[in-house]
Structure 1
Amino acid sequence: MGNKIYIFDTTLRDGEQTPGVSLNIHEKLEIARQLQALGVDIIEAGFPIASKGDFEAVKAIAQNIRGPVITGLARAAKKDIDTAWEALKYAENPRIHTFIATSDIHMEHKLKMTPEEVLERARSMVGYAKSLCPNVEFSPEDGTRTRPEFLYKVLEAVIDAGADVLNIPDTVGYTTPGEYGAFIKGIKDNVPNIDKAIISVHCHNDLGLAVANSLAAIENGAQQIECAINGLGERAGNAALEEVVMAIKTRSNHFNCHTDIVTEQITRTSSLVSHLTGVQIQNNKAIVGSNAFAHESGIHQHGVLNCRETYEIMTPESVGLKKNLIVLGKHSGRHAFEQRLKELGYANLNSDKVNEAFVKFKDLADKKKSISDEDIEALVKQEVFQVPENYKIEHFQVSSGNNMVATAAVKIRYNDNSVDEASCGDGPVDATFKAIEKAVGIDVTLKDYFLKAIGSGKDALGEVTVKIEKDSKIFSAKGVSTDVVEASAKAFINAINKMHYYLYQSESSATHNNETLVRI
């Protein structure tokens, strides 16, 4: 199983610094409870001196959450540290996290302090924090751009002053995995009392390398990873907790370590944070994106259905999903389509019926971005379970507007013959129906017409139901399409096909169909 890696979650502190995000005390407490269920080791509850609201939120979390270490951030200043301790003192396991910048650029342009002053401030404030709280973490801000020799001196001094955890931040997300791994190794090799403290890392994602850098640090001796749910944080965000944790779990033999995260709670936690912060998760986001366990390509679908491991390196259940998602679209293959038919209760369809439904599905997939189960059921019921399709609509065109008479032109095929007709009507649907009647040469009475949407969105299917009357007999049929006029035309021609089958073809197989028709 290897060494344990401590997971330090900063969603409620650095994550809340995401532009546009502001959580109230109740929302922070709700997230903290979920982080507790997730099994994080440390919850960074906030920056107590930043605002009264932040102070009260950290205090409430300290009072209500048991199990994880609760920490609050403080600059290396007595007032910050006092305020942090005032909020944290109620915690079962409190930790003060204090920091000061150590890179030349920050010391000169932000702090206006000399390296000697920074060194003394870091040492003295860690000592002061330790006098209040039994657990202290220290961060040299902009650590990866700090001169290594100076950084070693600072880290040695703060360990002597009582620091239990040394966090090495890549504050601006500048480093690369190879550099960062070597940087952590340099600390282990050059800070003489490093064995008395835990090395932590806090990586930002400005170059998209936060998770990779964090994992490189683990390979070189880091024992704590600071991260945030969904990768929230300043600018491009932090290392995503879910990605770090699942990388360690999936490649445990490589990293030779483990975490105590209850990974089955990952999806729930991610969804909660997204909901409360209002930050949407991109579809292709690793682990928690809606496409993370989705397959649309026919090749991939076939492989996953036969053996999950062909295209999935972890199970959806391991992160709290019920199953993977076979997305049916224009890239899907027959195997996945047939599997979905079985799931929907159509296991007894013969091969010809499945093929027929699949052809209709592909036609629809060229028109819709995604196909819902309702779409598939409508196709099966309408396009497969029907009487012989004697009449077929080869082409239709409508013209309509508020200041013009609606007209429709259709081409109807019967056997090897086709007829073109056009007609006017009270609207595009009425005109289409009249043109179809003229083309087939049969007058019918429209008794009922009903339109409803299947699914949702602007590309939802329209399902039309029509009832026609001929010789005192009623025939009903449905038609589906993303175009309601086309759905109407399909329903009408399907009803005529039913009428033709039951009134004419069923009377005598010897009857010549051409003699039964007026026009075709």
Structure 2
Amino acid sequence: MTKQIQFFDTTLRDGEQTIGVNFSVEQKVEIAKELERWGVDVIEAGFPVASPEDFEAVQAVSRAVKRTRVTGLARARKGDIDACIKATKDAAHKQVHVFIATSPIHRESKLHMTKDQVIASIRDSVTYAHQFFDIVEFSPEDATRTEPDFLVDSIETAIHAGATVINIADTVGYTNPVEFAELFKNLRENVKEFDDITFSVHCHDDLGMAVANSLASIENGATRIEGTINGIGERAGNAALEEVAAALYVRRDYYDATSNINLKETKRVSDMISDFANMPVPHNKAVVGANAFAHESGIHQDGMLKNPQTYEILTPESVGANKTTLPLGKLSGSHAVMAKLNKIGYDVDRDDMKKIFPIFKRVADDESIVTEDDLKEIMDKVKEAVH
């Protein structure tokens, strides 16, 4: 049966933890509206207890969106949860996201708490939150470095206290797809309520595996993916949601999963985040980078001219990008050069290219990109040589 995958966007909370990024309340509202158009199921609008501005932002987003569920983040503390209650009061659809670290290094070095104390904190905070929210999400922070049996105990405690969503956080990007599969296998075997609960994942990209780990989780029982647009976030960032969405679309034969994401809005929301965060998208970035649909190699250009599917598994139109481009450079072949010349008004054939292409190659050796003006100069030189 085809799985329905929820998308949980934390661009406004975890994404804003990117060094140098500071969205205004107005920008957060604009982003939230665009995320709603893109089709995300949940927007994590901020950490309300962190500051008055964060509280105001969560409140403003709660009032602005109509279909998407809004959540605030809360430590396993009554005061944090109270701030979420107040900030999301006007949301048409809301939940709360409660977390506490469960790994040995976090328990001992950061929290200075025993296992029993952590379990008690989970029970008390989730029980309290459940009085005010129908949907309570609980995250064992640093879950992928937590002892498997204690992770099960923490999750079962949260479920019995009223949690309806369990988020497995790979907080420092430590795991890999094989280990993540094993983690989910252990949960499936030992958490009795596994099939009755929404399992989510929140993967960081410290080792470059956030998207791969997120996709592996879908294969192993997760039905919600958390991440950010353009993969922004703390340190090396979060799973790039646009990449997860594109992978589910292109490889629907493999994942047998669908979502509410409107892929055609992808480039628009990516550009908005890039602009507001003042973070240019790398040219080679998957799905939304400037070079994602550009081909310079002669072999690739020849294939593209014959059939675009030879080198494109995703069309630019499907993600709202402009169009495929075949920039001409020193690696371009005569087929692409001839096609470009014909496009700009020159009637040339393969015989003509025997004279034109050597001149093109000499020009291309000195230019990173051969422009239309360069091509016109080349054609002038060809004419001069003929006369």
- Indicate if the aligned counterparts of 1:353 and 1:384 stay in contact, CA closer than 8 A: no
Using the alignment, how far apart are the partners of 2:47 and 2:149 within structure 1?
Answer: 30
Give the structure 1 partner of residue 363 of structure 2: 364
Deviation at 1:151, TM superposition (A): 1.2
TM norm structure 1: 0.72
Partner residue, 2:381: 383
SS across alignment from 1:105: helix
Q: Deviations for 1:442-477, whole angstroms, at most 9, x for unmatched residues?
A: xxxxxxxxxxxxxxxxxxxxxxxxxxxxxxxxxxxx
Give 2:9's aligned residue.
9
The one-letter amino acid of 2:19's match is P
**Which structure is higher in RCO with an 8 Å CA cutoff and minimum separation 6?**
2
Secondary structure of the corresponding residue to residue 294 of structure 1? coil
- For the Cα contact (< 8 Å) 1:101–1:141, is it kept in 2? yes
Task: Give the conservation status (yes or no) of the 8 Å contact 1:103–1:147.
Answer: yes
Alpha-carbon distance in 1 for matches of 2:20, 2:74 = 23
TM superposition shift of 1:195: 2.7
Report SS of the residue matched to 2:96.
Answer: strand
CA distance in 2 between partners of 1:114 and 1:210 (Å): 30
Tell me which amino acid in the other structure corresponds to 1:374. D
1:1-50 CA-to-partner distances (Å, cap 9, x unmatched) read 71111011111111111111111111111111111111111111111111
Please, which moves more after superposition, 182-191 or 353-362?
353-362
**Cα pair distance change 1:378/1:85, threshold 3 Å:** farther
Residue 138 of structure 1: SS of its match in structure 2?
strand
| 3-state SS of 1:226 partner | strand
Aligned residue identity for 1:375:
D
Q: Does 1:87 align with 2:122?
A: no
Distance in structure 1 (CA, Å) of the matches to 2:321 and 2:355: 33
Alignment RMSD (CA, Å): 1.5
CA separation in 2, counterparts of 1:134 and 1:327? 53
Give 2:197's aligned residue.
Answer: 197
CA contact (8 A) 2:202 2:227 kept: yes
Sequence identity (%): 49
Aligned residue in 2 for 1:247: 247
Give the counterpart letter for 1:138 in structure 2: F
**Which whole-Å CA distance do the structure 1 matches of 2:14 and 2:164 have between them?**
21
Contact 2:284 2:291 in 1 (8 A): yes
Whether 1:51 aligns to 2:51 is yes
Tell me the secondary structure at the aligned position of residue 325 of structure 1.
coil
Is contact 1:210-1:238 (8 Å) kept?
yes
Residues 228-277 of structure 1 show CA distances to partners (whole Å, capped at 9, x for unaligned) of 11111111111111111111111111111111111111111111111110
Aligned to 2:110: 110
Aligned residue for 1:213?
213
- CA distance in structure 2 between the aligned counterparts of 1:27 and 1:359, rounded to whole angstroms: 52
Match for 1:369: what amino acid?
S
Shift of 1:161: 1.3
SS at match of 1:358: helix
TM value normalised by structure 2: 0.96
CA distance in 2, matches of 1:44, 1:127: 21
The answer to whether the Cα contact below 8 Å between 1:159 and 1:194 also exists between their aligned partners in 2 is: no
> Structure 1 residues 183 and 327, CA, compared in 2 at 3 Å: closer, same or farther?
same
Q: Give 1 or 2 for the bigger CA radius of gyration.
A: 1
Unpaired runs of at least 5, structure 1: 390-520
In 1, Cα distance between equivalents of 2:352 and 2:101:
70
Deviations 1:374-400 (A, max 9, x none): 3323433x32444856xxxxxxxxxxx
**8 Å contact 1:159–1:196 — kept in the other structure?**
no
SS in 2 for 1:98: strand
Cα 1:86–1:215, aligned 2, differ >3 Å: closer, same or farther?
same
Task: Give the distance between the partners of 1:69 and 1:383, measured in 2 at CA.
Answer: 63
Maintained 8 Å contact 1:167/1:201: yes
Gaps of 5+ in 2: none
SS in 1 for 2:59: helix
For 1:372 and 1:43, the matched residues in 2 are separated by 43
Whether the 8 Å contact between 1:71 and 1:88 is mirrored in structure 2 is: yes
Letter in 2 for 1:27: Q
Number of residue equivalences: 387
Q: Structure 1, residues 92-140: CA drift from partner, whole Å, max 9, x if none?
A: 1111101000111111111111111111111111111111122111100
* Equivalent-residue separation in structure 2 for 1:120 and 1:141 (angstroms): 16
Cα distance in 1 for partners of 2:87, 2:24 equals 16
